[in-house]
């Protein structure tokens, strides 16, 4: 015999204790239909590996994929971020160490092959203020909202990683 009151009580204990499961954003938001590979020239695995090599620990966040209304080249089917969506308590140490990083991959090289950067980009959202830097080329776009005393180092770290990714993409083009 099932006791629905027990399940409700257990869920409330998890919520009050700070555990986000099953109340995480990922559990609430469906994955967009276009989410996932293939992407070219860069793949999610290549971007993840390169960013981690530069001490930026990103994870896939399929709930943040963008599906365009008309053509596949408008889609951003792969979204990566270094901010955990399930453990909100761990966000502060991550942003203090790495900044707040978002990267997205398009299906094809919609940005052209030249690496472009805007190191003083205006914030695109009311929830973010302060500094913002953007990098984009081929099928990759990355944004960082640096934080604290390490802001310059955070932006420089992402810039180095993106430059290496641009070289990888160029080799694939040739």
Going from N- to C-terminal start, the domains of the chain cover 1-30, 32-173
User: Tell me, what's the pLDDT at 125?
Assistant: 67
**What does the pLDDT read at residue 25?**
42
At 114 the pLDDT is: 96
Q: Whole-angstrom Cα distance, residue 106 to residue 77? A: 6
pLDDT tens for the chain, residues 1 to 174 = 434 433 333 333 333 333 333 333 444 566 667 788 899 999 999 999 999 999 999 999 888 888 877 655 567 889 999 987 666 667 788 888 999 999 999 999 999 999 999 998 887 766 666 789 999 999 999 999 998 889 999 999 999 999 999 999 999 987
Name residue 142's beta-bridge partners: 103, 135
pLDDT score for 51: 98
| H runs (alpha helix) in the chain | 4-16, 25-28, 44-53, 91-98, 151-173
């Amino acid at each position: 015999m099932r006791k629905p009151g027990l399940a409700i009580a257990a869920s409330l204990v998890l919520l009050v204790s700070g555990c986000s499961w099953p109340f995480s954003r990922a559990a609430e938001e469906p994955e967009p239909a276009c989410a996932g590979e293939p992407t070219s020239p860069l793949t999610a695995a290549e971007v993840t590996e390169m960013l981690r090599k530069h001490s930026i620990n990103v994870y896939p966040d399929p709930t943040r994929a963008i599906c365009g209304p008309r053509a596949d080249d408008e889609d951003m089917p792969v979204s990566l971020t270094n901010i955990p969506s399930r453990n909100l308590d761990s966000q502060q140490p991550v942003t203090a160490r790495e900044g707040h990083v978002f990267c997205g991959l398009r299906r094809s090289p919609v940005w052209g092959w030249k690496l472009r950067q805007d190191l003083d980009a205006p914030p695109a959202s009311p929830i973010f203020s302060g500094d913002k830097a953007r990098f984009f080329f081929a099928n990759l776009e990355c944004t960082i909202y640096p934080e604290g005393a390490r802001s310059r180092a955070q932006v420089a770290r992402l810039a180095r990683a993106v430059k290496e990714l641009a070289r990888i993409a160029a080799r694939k083009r040739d």
